[in-house]
A and B are shown apart, each in its own frame.
Chain A
């Protein structure tokens, strides 16, 4: 139950940054996971609830900023992978990109 949170980050490269449409996509994706998912503009937080669209839009993150994600719960790792993929894919027009299975070296779980 109390496994440590998963972390991830991704650089915002789409032109509009985290404006309305990307914010909506991000919250929709976050909501599809059971894990609690948070978003920060620095690795130290402060952390916002990534499932709350108003909070995410108010972050007003611009192109060139890095988004940090923190998730806790059974599917936290999948949530982080999917969110990082969404940002890396510039919130691509495809409505639902299935979270790609990423083979990342983040093995240690201590």
Chain B
């Protein structure tokens, strides 16, 4: 069984709230384990509710894997700032960082489950997006 976390897609959690982001990351760790790289960021630069492009970039960097990273976001600004962060990556990384259109907590757990099985980025994203309301 392959386990090398460096080869699995990494997961980035971006919430307006640090508590939400950290809590979602806790759930991933407890349910999926240690076999995926995982980073979270939440709140703006002043510690209030919001998101911060620099924080998102740091999280992408922390969770980076050669297989790429899947980014799970909550509301509006988290998505646009995450897209902006992706735009700021160098070209090779940019093609391997995707924002998933999925609920943040469930999406993070499911994406990590898929990633832990060694699936490529496209499949990880697709699986998280299957969660959208039926």
Contact A95:B1 (CB < 8 A) given known A24-B113, A51-B117, A54-B130: no
Contact B1 A32 (CB under 8 A): yes
A53 touches B1 (CB 8 A): no
Assign chain B's interface to a size class.
Answer: 10 to 19
Chain A residues touching B, majority SS: helix
CB-contacts of A51-74 with B (<8 A):
51-54
**Residues on the B chain within 8 Å of A51, using CB:** 117
CB contact list, B114-134 vs A, under 8 A:
114, 116-119, 127, 130-131
Which residues of A sit under 8 angstroms from B118, Cβ to Cβ?
Answer: 31
Inter-subunit contact A54/B110 (CB<8 Å): yes
A contact residues, range: 10 to 19
Do B32 and A24 have beta carbons less than 8 Å apart?
yes
Contacts of A28 in B (CB 8 A): 32-33, 113, 116-117
Determine if A20 is an interface residue (Cβ-Cβ < 8 Å).
yes
Contacts A27-B117, A28-B117, A52-B130 supplied; 9 other A-B pairs, CB < 8 Å? A20-B109, A24-B31, A28-B32, A31-B117, A32-B117, A53-B110, A54-B127, A54-B130, A96-B1
